[in-house]
Amino acid sequence: MAQKRSESNNHPRALQETRLQGSVTFPCTMYCADAQMNAEPSPFYAKPHWHDAIEILYFRRGSFSLTVNTEPVTITQETICFVESGSLHAIYSEKEYEEYAFLFDPFFLSASHPDEAGQLLIDPLQRGRLHFPQLLTASDTGFEEICDEFMHLQQIFSRQGAARADQIILQTPASQLRVRACLLNILATLAENDLLRVSEQSTDPRADALKKVMLYIQEHYAEKIYLHDLAQIMNMNEQYFCRFFKKTTQKTPVSYINELRIRHAALLLCEEADHAIPVSEVAAACGFDNMGHFITQFRRVTGASPLEYRRQQRQTEAAPGEPGRR
């Protein structure tokens, strides 16, 4: 079964994904968030991020708050969503969710022999001249066929894939061919039903500014961060910035900063036993100048105290990595 992504997000990730999706020779991978796989009820949160890969999201069951760039979308029915390269996006679901994500580099679709499909569909997609639709639901033509192909993709990864952290990767030539065929079938269905967009993708200045805010937080998490400085990056007053940030990310700026710091702290706590960093030094290195506040925030995010978390990680021999996706 495809690995579920961690809802606790205990480890740090750069806001812009630089991790390899899949493998060098086959840049495709699958992720899964399924509430039924959790031992205890736990919300699912994919924090705001972007990457170079194209992502197909399949919301199969449950209700979700999805944000693409700065546009919020509420999803309450079975839905396919295409997230294009460079788009800032985040997902949140409280309970009873089932969601899959397939990420791929569009250049892996290239064929050595030129044909009309390559010239009129694949090449324009790779160059950003042709775009996927953002959302498809049951009322759209071709929706059922695309869902069937997507679940075929999921089954290939589930049955023949190998786990690498939270990703599932494919290593056999036959399974890779089948994935390529599924993706080409999805593309063909979109083309047959005139669902591909030819217009140039418009940029969202607020999304670009929000990326700068999040990168600033990522780079300065160990220092004091003032809301005024963050608001200034987006050319907003502090009050409006806080409302906008929470509406877009589902987190207040303070909560977002604290959780990012905790993820960095969790990574430091997972260092080898011979090089264990004292908890007080971990707190200071991650921007906390009050030990009590650090322990409270750490327990809120991870469900354990710093020392308990370190002990749990050693007992399970969990290698420090980044279980959250993208």
Q: Where residue 235 sits, what CATH number does that domain have?
A: 1.10.10.60
Q: Are residues 287 and 213 in the same domain?
A: yes
**What DSSP state is assigned to residue 120?**
I
In a domain, residue 10? The reply is no
Q: Please report, in tens digits, the pLDDT of each residue of the chain (326 residues total).
A: 443 344 333 333 345 555 556 676 778 888 899 998 877 778 899 888 888 889 999 999 999 999 998 888 999 999 999 998 888 999 999 989 999 999 998 877 776 667 888 888 888 888 778 899 999 999 999 999 999 999 999 999 888 877 766 677 787 889 889 999 999 999 999 999 999 988 655 567 888 888 889 889 989 999 999 999 999 999 999 999 999 888 888 789 999 899 889 988 988 887 765 567 899 999 999 999 999 999 999 988 888 899 988 888 777 654 434 334 44
In a domain, residue 2? The reply is no
Q: Are residues 165 and 235 in the same domain?
A: no
Tell which of 129, 161, 192 closes a domain. 192
CA 39 – CA 35 distance, rounded (Å):
9
Task: State residue 11's pLDDT score.
Answer: 36
In a domain, residue 143? The reply is yes
Q: Are residues 210 and 175 in the same domain?
A: no
Tell which of 164, 192, 220 closes a domain. 192
In a domain, residue 222? The reply is yes
Q: Are residues 62 and 152 in the same domain?
A: yes
Report the SS3 class of residue 169: strand
Q: Are residues 187 and 211 in the same domain?
A: no
Name the amino acid, one letter, at 91. Answer: I
In a domain, residue 199? The reply is no
Domain enclosing residue 256, as ranges: 205-315
**Structural domain tally of the chain?**
2
In a domain, residue 321? The reply is no
Residue 20 makes CB contacts below 8 A (sequence gap 6+) with 27
Q: Are residues 33 and 121 in the same domain?
A: yes
Q: Classify 287 in phi/psi space as left (phi over 0), alpha (psi -120 to 50) or beta.
A: left
Q: Are residues 183 and 217 in the same domain?
A: no
CA 293 – CA 231 distance, rounded (Å):
24
Tell which of 192, 223, 256 closes a domain. 192
Task: State residue 24's pLDDT score.
Answer: 66
In a domain, residue 326? The reply is no
